[in-house]
Amino acid sequence: MPGQPEPVLRAAVRWLERLQASGAPRVRALFTAHSDFSDLTPTQYDAAYAWLRETGLLDEPHSSVPAHRRVFDAAIAHSGAPWLPDADLLVRGPDELPDDALRAAEALGLSESEAYAQLAAVWGKVDAGERARIGAAGELALVDLLTASVEARVEHVAAWSDGYGYDIAIRASRHRAHLEVKTTLRRSRLTVYVSRNEYETMLRDPDWELVAVRLTPDLHLQAVATVPKDWIAARVPADQSAQGRWESCRFDVPPDVPVPGIPRVTPVLAEGASKLLGGAADWPG
C-alpha cells in the first residue's frame, strides 16, 4: 500500500506473530540475532513496529485473526489511497483490485479473491465510521441553521432516540415537519441509506421529508435540498414473500433529483432566514 513497502508489511506480520508469546525487547533481539530473520534489516523491523503502533494493531496483540490478514486490513484502512472512499464503485471484483492492493496482497500471501473479500470488509467499516461522523455533523449543522431561521420549535430527536424514523422535528402552532437528514461531502455523488423504519415512517407521516445536506470538507454547511418522496417510493426494493423482508436499502441519487431547500419548512421561515432553506441556493451537482 502507499507508504508501506513490501518488506515493512512482512516485518509487521512477524512482529504480530511473535508478540503473542514474547515482549517487544525479546522479539527485537530475535530479529537482530537469528539468521532466519536476516532477510530484513533492523531498520525495516523498527519501521514495521512503529507502523503497528500508529495503526493500533499493537493494542490487541492476542487476536484470533491471522497476522497477515490484520496487516493487510490495516494497510488498506490507513493507506490514504484515493480510491478507497469509492471502493464500492471502483472495485467490483478481484480483477479490479488496484495495483497497490495487489502488491500488498502478494507480499502477505493473499490470493486476489481473499484480498477482495478483505477489501470489501475494510471499506464497509471505514464507510460506516465516516458516514456516522459526517452524518452527525450534518444533523447538528442543520439544527443550528433551522433554529436561527424558523419561527418554530426545533428538536433534534435523533439525539435521544433513533426510533422516530426521522432526525429533526419542527413544531409550530399550525405546522409540523419531520426531517430525516442525509449528509455528504461530495459534489458529484449523493448516496443515502434508508432504513425500513424510515421508509415506513415516510409512507404514513405526511410531515416527513428526506433532507440532503452537503458539507464542506471542514464540515461547514454548503447546501440543503429535499429528495422527493415519490422518487424514493419508486425505487425501494420489494419483499418477495412473507418469509423475507428488506431492512435497509441504498440509493445513489442523481444530481438533478434533489430539490433545493426544504419546502416543508417554508411556511415557518422567519424574515431574513437562510437562503439555503428557501430554495434560492442551488444544490451543486
CA distances for 31 relative to 6, 54, 240, angstroms: 17, 21, 58
Considering the domain boundaries, does residue 12 fall inside one?
A: yes
Considering the domain boundaries, does residue 127 fall inside one?
A: no
Residue written as grid cell 433534534: 156
Same domain, 210 and 178: yes
Task: Say what the pLDDT of residue 138 is.
Answer: 96
DSSP string, 141-204: HHHHHHHHHBSSEEE-GGGT-S-SSSSEEEEETTEEEEEEEEEE--SS-EEEEEEHHHHHHHHH
pTM for this model (two decimals): 0.78
Task: Say what the pLDDT of residue 1 is.
Answer: 43
What's 270's domain CATH number? 3.40.1350
Across the range 29-35, mean pLDDT stands at 93
Which residue type is seen at 148? A
Considering the domain boundaries, does residue 123 fall inside one?
A: no
Task: Say what the pLDDT of residue 68 is.
Answer: 95
Q: Determine contact, residues 15/46, Cβ cutoff 8 Å.
A: no
Same domain, 155 and 78: no
Considering the domain boundaries, does residue 128 fall inside one?
A: no
Cell output for 75: 494497510
Q: Which residue has the higher pLDDT, 162 or 37?
A: 37
Same domain, 180 and 79: no
For residue range 75-116, list pLDDT tens digits in order: 999 988 889 988 988 999 999 999 999 999 999 999 999 999
Same domain, 82 and 15: yes
Same domain, 86 and 204: no
Closest CA to 131 of 201, 198, 186: 186
Considering the domain boundaries, does residue 126 fall inside one?
A: no
Same domain, 34 and 153: no
pLDDT averaged over the chain?
Answer: 92
Task: Say what the pLDDT of residue 103 is.
Answer: 92
Same domain, 238 and 149: yes
Assess whether pLDDT exceeds 70 at residue 246.
Answer: yes
Which domain, by its residues, includes 32? 6-110
Please tell me the distance from the alpha carbon of residue 31 to that of residue 15, in angstroms, as a whole number.
Answer: 9
Residue written as grid cell 523491523: 45
For residue range 142-175, list pLDDT tens digits in order: 999 999 999 999 999 999 998 999 999 999 988 9
Same domain, 211 and 264: yes
Please tell me the distance from the alpha carbon of residue 205 to that of residue 45, in angstroms, as a whole number.
Answer: 60
Considering the domain boundaries, does residue 121 fall inside one?
A: no
Same domain, 274 and 147: yes
Task: Say what the pLDDT of residue 285 is.
Answer: 59
Task: Say how many C-beta atoms besides its own lie within 10 A of residue 44's C-beta.
Answer: 19
Considering the domain boundaries, does residue 170 fall inside one?
A: yes
Burial of 227 from C-beta contacts in 10 A (0-12 / 13-18 / 19+):
buried
Considering the domain boundaries, does residue 206 fall inside one?
A: yes
Residue written as grid cell 432566514: 273
Q: How confident is the model at residue 245 (pLDDT cuts 50, 70, 90)?
A: very high
Same domain, 141 and 255: yes
Q: Determine contact, residues 104/114, Cβ cutoff 8 Å.
A: no
Domains held by the chain: number: 2
Assess whether pLDDT exceeds 90 at residue 282.
Answer: no
Q: How confident is the model at residue 4 (pLDDT cuts 50, 70, 90)?
A: confident
Same domain, 199 and 240: yes
Closest CA to 138 of 236, 216, 54, 255: 216
Q: How confident is the model at residue 3 (pLDDT cuts 50, 70, 90)?
A: low
Strand, helix or coil for residue 212: strand
Same domain, 138 and 106: no
Is the alpha carbon torsion for 243, 249, 254, 255 positive or negative? positive
